[in-house]
């Protein structure tokens, strides 16, 4: 990252509905020439945070997603409700998504936001499951990320190690910021992270 860039830290989980709701703000930040976004997954729905898609959890998720839709304007489609939440065969586990984003970061690092957008829209708009490796590989391939797909297939053990380190870094950052949940935005000031209100930052940058 160049010294003249404002580094914005984005702490998130790709299966978090509120993180999906923050996509428009991420794109507005990315459109600012002075901004460099650093994506830090927190592993909220990985490992112990993963769970099966039970009917009860699906109902809970849908009600929360409707709140996100009202608050942010981001769409959660009927296809998502019927094709993803009603499918009890796929897990609610964000690790395949974290792995996919790391593979994109290594192969076409400037396209990490593009990949995150494609992976989230596939789930919440198109109603496609995105919590298994074959599913994320298919989504990436459909959006031109062939090199990332090859990396997922060729070096999955290496990516898993990197994912665990990245999640540890994200969790440590959340603790240092005393952040209460995701999405969380911060900036680096003299090398130190500082929580920010993203709306205030965008207002200042877009003047």
What are the structural domains, with CATH classification, of the chain?
Answer: 6-205 (3.40.30.10)
CA distance 21 to 69: 7
Question: What is the pTM (predicted TM-score) of this model?
Answer: 0.96
Q: What is the pLDDT of residues 71-112, one digit of tens each?
A: 999 999 999 999 999 999 999 999 999 999 999 999 999 999
Q: Is the dihedral of CA 77, 83, 87, 93 positive or negative?
A: negative
Angle at CA 16, nearest 5°, toward 11 and 116?
A: 70
Tokens of 90: 């796929």
CB 123 within 8 A of CB 83: no
Q: For residue 2, what pLDDT band results from cuts at 50, 70 and 90?
A: very low
């Amino acid at each position: 990252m160049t010294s003249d860039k404002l580094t914005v830290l984005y702490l998130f989980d790709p299966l978090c509905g509120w993180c999906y709701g923050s996509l428009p703000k991420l794109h507005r930040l990315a459109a600012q020439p002075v901004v460099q976004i650093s994506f830090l997954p927190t592993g909220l729905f990985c490992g112990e945070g993963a769970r099966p898609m039970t009917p009860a959890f699906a109902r809970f998720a849908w009600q929360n997603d409707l709140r996100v839709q009202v608050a942010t304007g981001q769409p959660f489609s009927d296809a998502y409700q019927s094709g993803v939440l009603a499918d009890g065969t796929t897990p609610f586990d964000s690790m395949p998504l974290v792995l996919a984003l790391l593979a994109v970061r290594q192969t076409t690092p400037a396209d990490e936001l593009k990949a995150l957008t494609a992976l989230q829209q596939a789930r919440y708009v198109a109603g496609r499951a995105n919590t298994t490796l074959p599913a994320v590989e298919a989504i990436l391939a459909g959006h031109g990320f062939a090199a990332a797909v090859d990396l997922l297939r060729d070096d999955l053990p290496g990516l898993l190690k990197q994912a665990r380190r990245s999640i540890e870094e994200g969790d440590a950052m959340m603790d240092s910021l005393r952040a209460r949940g995701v999405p969380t935005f911060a900036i680096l000031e003299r090398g130190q992270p500082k929580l920010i209100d993203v709306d205030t930052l965008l207002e200042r940058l877009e003047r």
